[in-house]
Amino acid sequence: MNAEHYDAIVLGAGAAGLSAGIYLARANLKTLIINEGSIGGQMVLTHAVANYPGVREASGREISQVMKNQAKEFGCDIESNVEITKLDLTSKKKMVEIDDDEIFTADVMILATGGKPRKLGAKNEDKFKGLGISYCATCDGDFYTGKDVIVVGGGNSALEEAVSLTKWVKSITVIHQFDNFQAHEYAIEQAEKNSKISFILESKITEYLGEQNVEGVIIQNQKTGEFSELKTDGVFVYIGYIPNTDKLKDVIHLNEREEVLSDENMQTNIKGVFVAGDVREKKYRQITTAVSDGTIAALSAIEYLQS
Amino acid sequence: MLGTNLKHIKSEEEFNEVIKNNENVMICCGRMGPMCLPVYDVMENLEEKYENVKFYDMDFDIPEAHVLRNHQLARGFMGLPFTFYFKNGKAVKATSSIQNKKQIKSIIEEYLV
């Protein structure tokens, strides 16, 4: 198999990866972005972004579409919705194979692989994925028109998606493991004042019930340890994200949460390998911070190539 | 109209023209959600690689999209997007929900080129 060589390869096409791609391509470096999911990453799931400086208000999808087109116009190649089947970060010439089919090499690599939705770990979760368990209200909300659903989680995503689901569903029960929400005040207020939404706190789903589709769940109260059954037509899960570091963990230094460790210039423990965005160890995960990481990683990579 | 970089089919008449006048056609009928976007991204990428295949999208929510929504090959489909492959004006394959580049390429290789 012939390998095509690039100056730089960016893994991931969320806000961090696209920003890195824009900076690298503008510096006239032959750049390839390889992405396993959707271009825009988690950004595309955000209905309205109102705090991205310079943009009055836009959907995450619109912002990511502009970022993608900017990267392409500056000359970035993009391979998206592919599977990374081999990865070599430690050799001087870095290598990525996709779909057991195409091989690309590069002098530097930027890891911007982001995160993926955390699963609940309840019994029968895999069995009912797409058959009553969903991770995306925008995609699947209308299939639950007039039905009773559960939303799991207590962060912004959970409460905002619960409110957005009320367009279709008859009722929503929000189940959250703690006795208070992590969401911002405005999101809590919106959810609490919606008459279709009720709440069960300090509880966890331990099992999904049903034949072909989800028909109910078993809930455990975290305080008393007691189990109870709740009938439902569907469950939407929003309990945060875990970093996409499965393919990196053998060679890249990670913290105990499996996030990539780096210095302030986004340099990892391997020469020529930089990191950016939600996959790295940091406190705040915003589009703005991902863009900042991507910029720094690209500038550090350019400096590395020149040295 | 969908906000992709693909060519859009906006009417039944246009749909009939496209499949009549082109030997190989792939049409993705969807919305702008996270299951649909990755399919459009692959189509944009493959547009450069398969010159003898025409790539189009169609907005799932316009009334004219009934030509694909209610197509006999889409019976039982419960996940967006609905993706169709046409050879000489005839639908030869359709898929429901997200497909990755490898899956799409293998359908094009098997049914179209």
DSSP-derived secondary structure for B56-88 = EEEETTSGGGHHHHT-GGGTT--SSPEEEEEET
**Partner-chain contact B101 A37, CB within 8 Å:** no
Of the residues A237, A254, A285, the one at which a domain ends: A237
Q: Which of A237, A255, A272 is the last residue of a domain?
A: A237
Contact A143 B39 (CB under 8 A): no
Q: The domain B7-112 is classified under which CATH number: 3.40.80.10, 1.20.1440.120, 3.40.30.10, 3.10.20.30?
A: 3.40.30.10
Instruction: Please give, rounded to a whole number of angstroms, the shortest distance from the CA of A210 to a CA of chain B.
Output: 18
In a domain, A126, yes or no: no
CA distance linking residue A122 with residue A95, whole number of Å: 37
Residue with tokens 């189009």: B56
Considering the domain boundaries, does residue A140 fall inside one?
yes
What is d(CA A47, CA A62) in angstroms, rounded to the nearest whole number?
A: 10
Same domain (yes/no): A97, A246: yes
Amino acid (one-letter) located at B91? A
Query: For A130, which residue in chain B has the nearest alpha carbon?
Result: B79
Cβ pair A244, A279 in contact under 8 A: yes
**Residue of A97, A139, A214 to mutate, interface with B, max B Cβ within 10 Å:** A139
Which residue is listed with tokens 């391979």?
A79
Give the C-alpha separation, A188 to A190, whole Å. Answer: 6
Q: Is A298 on the interface with B (CB under 8 A)?
A: no
Local confidence pLDDT in tens for the 307 residues of chain A: 789 999 999 999 999 999 999 999 999 999 999 999 889 998 887 777 888 999 999 989 999 999 999 999 999 999 999 999 999 999 999 999 999 889 999 999 999 999 987 888 999 987 786 678 887 787 778 879 999 999 999 998 899 999 999 999 999 999 999 999 999 999 999 999 999 999 999 999 999 999 988 999 999 999 999 999 999 999 999 998 889 999 998 899 999 999 999 999 999 999 999 999 999 999 888 999 999 999 999 999 999 999 9
Tokens 């889409």 belong to which residue?
Answer: B74
Residues A110 and A247 in one domain: yes
**Which among A187, A211, A237 is the end of a domain?**
A237
Inter-axis angle of helices A185-192 and A156-165, to 10 degrees? 30
Residue B49 has which token pair?
């690689």
A136 included as an active-site residue: yes
**Domain shared by A193 and A107, yes or no:** no
Q: List CB contacts of A154: < 8 A, sequence separation 6 or more.
A: A174, A176, A177, A178, A180, A181, A182, A183
Q: Which residues of A touch B38 (CB under 8 A)?
A: 37-39, 80-81
**A63, A64, A80, A104: which to substitute to probe chain B, counting the most B Cβ within 10 Å?**
A80
ipTM entry: 0.80
A148-152 and A171-175 beta bridge pairing: parallel
Amino acid letter for position A249: K
In a domain, A128, yes or no: no
Q: CA dihedral in degrees (A138, A139, A140, A141; nearest 10)?
A: 20
Which among A164, A289, A179 has a CA at the least distance from the CA of A238? A164
Number of domains comprising chain A: 2
From the list A168, A101, A106, A107, the residue with the least C-alpha distance to A134 is A168
Q: Nearest CA to CA, how far is A82 from chain B (Å)? A: 5
- Residue A101 CA to residue A97 CA, distance in Å, equals 7
Q: What is the CATH number of the domain that holds A7?
A: 3.50.50.60
C-beta of residue A137 within 8 angstroms of C-beta of residue A36: no
Of B42, B45, B78, the CB nearest to A143: B78
Answer yes or no: do A266 and A283 share one domain.
Answer: yes
Whole domain around residue A143: which residue ranges?
A: 133-237
CA dihedral sign of residues B45, B51, B52, B56: positive
Residue boundaries of the structural domains of chain B? 7-112
My answer on whether A247 and A102 are in the same domain is yes
- Are residue A10 and residue A110 in the same domain, yes or no? yes
Asked if the model's pLDDT at residue B79 lies above 90, the reply is no
CA-based angle A14:A15:A18, to the nearest 5? 80
Q: Which residue of B has its CA nearest to A37?
A: B38
Burial of A270 (0-12, 13-18, 19+ CB in 10 A): middle
CA A264 to chain centre: 22
| E strand intervals along A112-239 | 115-117, 133-134, 148-152, 171-175, 197-200, 203-209, 216-221, 227-231, 234-237
Asked if residue A58 is part of any domain, the answer here is yes
CB-CB neighbours of A200 under 10 Å: 16
What pLDDT is attached to residue A2? 84
* 3-state class (DSSP) for residue A58: strand
Residue from the list A35, A44, A83 with its beta carbon closest to the beta carbon of B34? A44
Q: In this structure, is residue A218 part of a structural domain? A: yes
Phi and psi (nearest 5°) for A109? -135, 140
Does residue A40 lie in a domain region?
yes
A interface test, pick of B1, B6, B36, B37 with most A CB neighbours within 10 Å = B37
- For residue A219, being part of any structural domain is answered with yes
Rounded to the nearest 10°, the torsion over CA A212, A214, A216, A221 is 130
In a domain, A121, yes or no: no
A4 contacts chain B (CB < 8 A): no
pLDDT in tens, B26-49: 999 999 888 899 999 999 999 989
CA distance B79 to chain A (A): 8
